[in-house]
Amino acid sequence: MRTKLIVANWKMNATIAEALKFVAALRRHMQGSPDCEVVICPPFTSLYALDEALSGTPYQLGAQNMYWEDAGAYTGEISPRFLSELNVRFVILGHSERRKSFGETDVAINKKVAAALAYEFIPIICVGETEEEHNEGKTLDVVESQVSKILDGQMKSGLETLVWAYEPVWAIGTGKNATPQQAQEVMGTIRKVLAQALDAPTADKMRLLYGGSVSDKNAGAFLKQKDVDGLLVGGASLDAEKFAKIIKSFSSPQ
């Protein structure tokens, strides 16, 4: 059985002080351990502080990005070697905002995934279609192409740990979101593509997340879907009370 997973992607939000305040508030709103894995991905500047603040809690630490080289003349980048000095277990790769704003390609994401696996991080790999591609009915073709290119040439060892996040680009920060049924159709296709590219047992072990204007109001509906193993949460993850409600939706009757 796949362990359910909720990931908080804070993007470029929350100072160190605000991050520590959030953790304290989340612990107040949550009593005991959650019924799923919970990962918090703050800005790089807060990783060290949250590494200490999350120690002894059921919450895990993740990064929002990383480069594929260990060191060198790559101004502004963070290497997996640096992240390995902290208790970072997860790293988000290929988020649509990085694809759009920084020109990240599937080839670059492929290299990052390989580097992450070499350091035994758990990559959270984002795939999804633009609004134009969605309107043209190309969603499944686009996502299948992204998954195939990112998997191309990867070493087999550790692939079962990969986490895939379907984030329809047209739903990121817009208030729009795919219906739970649309999400299931795409995520079911992702699992089929993974099974064809690798094998069914490996594909069945991989966790699939939905991300795209997730809130405490709609989380439960997505979690009813067969291939939705969790959620990648953006804006709502900055509010400790709302984020706690999303976490609790895993243990609520679906």
Q: Of 207, 221, 245, nearest to 4 (Cα)?
A: 207
- 156, with CB counted inside 10 A (0-12, 13-18, 19+), is exposed
**95 belongs to the catalytic site:** yes
- The Cα–Cα gap between 225 and 163 comes to 17
Write down the catalytic residue from 95, 97, 104, 144.
95
| Catalytic site includes residue 52 | no
Residue 202 in tokens: 């490996």
* 178 secondary structure, DSSP code: -
Structure tokens at 25: 């508030």
Is residue 214 within 8 Å of 176, Cβ to Cβ?
Answer: no
CB 92 within 8 Å of CB 9? yes
Among residues 97, 129, 144, 167, which one is catalytic?
167
Q: Are 199 and 154 in contact (CB under 8 A)?
A: no
Location of structure tokens 């990931």: 7
Residues with catalytic function: 95, 167
